Amino acid sequence: MYRAIISGTGLFTPEHIITNAELVESFNKYVALYNARNAERIAAGEITALQESSVEFIEKASGIKQRYVLEKTGVLDPERMYPRFTERPDDELSLEAEIAVAAAREALAAAGKTAADIDGVICAAANMQRAYPAMAIEIQQELGINGFAFDMNVACSSATFGIQQAADAVRCGSARAVLVVNPEITSAHLEWRDRDCHFIFGDVATAVVVERAELASPSAAQKWEVLGTKLATQFSNNIRNNFGFMNSAEDSDPNARDKKFRQEGRKVFKEVVPIAAAHIEGHLDTLGIKPTDVRRYWLHQANLGMNQLVGKKLLGREATADDAPIILDEFANTASAGSVIAFHRHNADLAAGDLGVICSFGAGYSVGSVVVRKL
């Protein structure tokens, strides 16, 4: 068995920001239009009037202040309420591959690696742009990497599940180094017309290089030994999206509400916090580490309150921004990428020997943890 390390990370951030104020303004315009157009049916009690959203609610309930998106005019158009992308021909790089490649190039540079050093690419994300060929193979081709590539989807936990696959391949010797990319175009699978969730998500892409410790480049800015990985799943319908290849054969409406992200947010909050905290504690225990010995937790970024509760359960006190950094105020929930953004942004200040945990949790339910030590 070889030792696996994380030797580089990368982040692609879209150029457009939607603030809560902009989002709520356009949502409330949509509500006014909808209610005016349906005034008679609403008055007759056939349908219910839509209610306005509010910046105060969003910030208090979630901690989110803004989100990055790849396209904002379509999202903010009250007659449309979803992004406006142009379909690309088959011989052009697809959008999801494009943002993954941008993050991947940064991760490779940070690790001091070139395409020739990488043996595998895993595209781990909550949504794939198409069924096949795999997004990962297109990304592999664009980067000029040999070896293998495949896609995997475990919704918000895709990144940590991908890191485990990469670490396993490195540890057992089937790959010298594996690139894990998490391109998340959440804006295309969010129902921006639903006030319960219209504020939750943002677009981004992250990338991580996992490689054999002794092959690490001297120019790598950081090296984090993977001490252990642990994954767990438990079926739940509380976060669900029924979009899929059976839709047309079933004669179902491809634009029906259930073909986009939907959730029972309260239940998710209540059920996932204890699962995540117990999972991390159990994982650390198998490695002989106490939760208080961990210098930093890079947690999934879905909700500020969730992370505060997970932090408190682990540490027995309020977790500070230094214990468990928050990036969701700036990025919102970026599905699988959140914990990797937190790691990418907030690891340089740690010292050699410091312990950290990257942990994601979400739809499935699913939870994945990666325990690392700075070399």
Q: Known catalytic residues?
A: 156
Q: What's the start-to-end Cα distance of the chain, in Å?
A: 19
Within 199-228, which residues bind ligand CO8 (CB under 6 A)?
199, 201
CA distance linking residue 107 with residue 180, whole number of Å: 10
Report DSSP letters for 312-325, one per residue: HHHHSSPPPTTTS-
By CB under 6 A, how many residues form the interface with ligand CO8? 30
Q: What is the DSSP pairing of strand 4-12 with strand 16-19?
A: unpaired
State yes or no: residue 363 binds ligand CO8 (CB under 6 A).
yes
Q: Closest residue (Cβ) to ligand CO8?
A: 362
Check binding of 11 to ligand CO8 (CB under 6 A). no
Amino acid at the residue 108: L
Which of these segments, 1-9, 13-21, 182-190, 307-315, binds ligand CO8 (CB under 6 A)?
A: 182-190
Cβ closest to ligand CO8, residue 220 vs residue 302: 302
Token reading at 176: 């010298």
Residue 154 in contact with ligand CO8, rule: CB under 6 A: no
What are the counts of helices (DSSP H) followed by strands (DSSP E) for the chain? 11, 13
Is the CB of residue 238 less than 8 Å from the CB of residue 264? yes
Under the criterion CB under 6 A, does residue 15 sit at the interface with ligand CO8? no
Could you say whether residue 126 binds ligand CO8 (CB under 6 A)?
Answer: yes
Query: What does residue 239 show for φ and ψ, rounded to 5 degrees?
Result: -130, 120
Site string for ligand CO8, 83-112 (x = CB under 6 A): ------------------------------
Nearer residue to ligand CO8 within complex by CB, 122 or 363? 363
Q: Which of 9, 164, 186, 206 binds ligand CO8 (CB under 6 A)?
A: 186
Peptide bond into 2 cis (omega under 30): no
Q: Closest approach of Cβ 306 to ligand CO8, in Å?
A: 6
Min dist CB 90 to ligand CO8, Å, is: 25
Q: Tell me if 34 contacts ligand CO8 by CB under 6 A.
A: no
- Determine if 236 is a binding residue for ligand CO8 (CB under 6 A): no
Write out the two tokens for 145.
């990497």
H/E element holding 69? strand 66-69
- 338 lines the binding site for ligand CO8 (CB under 6 A): no
Which residues are within 8 A (CB) of 222 and not within 5 positions of it... i.e. 6 or more apart?
6, 7, 8, 110, 347, 348, 374
Please give the DSSP secondary-structure letter assigned to residue 316. Answer: S
Looking at the Cβ atoms of 70 and 302, the one nearer to ligand CO8 is: 302
Nearest approach, Cβ of residue 93 and ligand CO8 (Å): 22
Alpha carbon distance 165, 5 (integer Å): 13
In terms of Cβ atoms closer than 10 Å to its own Cβ (0-12, 13-18, 19+), residue 366 is: buried
Asked if residue 265 binds ligand CO8 (CB under 6 A), the reply is: yes
Smallest separation (angstroms) from ligand CO8 to the CB of 196 = 5
Pick the stretch among 3-11, 243-251, 302-310, 315-323 that binds ligand CO8 (CB under 6 A): 302-310
Phi, psi (rounded to 5 degrees) for 9:
-135, 155
Query: Does 153 sit near ligand CO8 (CB under 6 A)?
Result: no
- Distances from the Cα of 15 to the Cαs of 67, 69, 310, in angstroms? 10, 7, 32
Interacting residue ranges for ligand CO8, rule: CB under 6 A: 53-54, 57-58, 61-62, 126, 155-156, 186, 189-190, 195-196, 199, 201, 239, 261, 263, 265-266, 268-269, 302-303, 306, 333, 335, 362-363
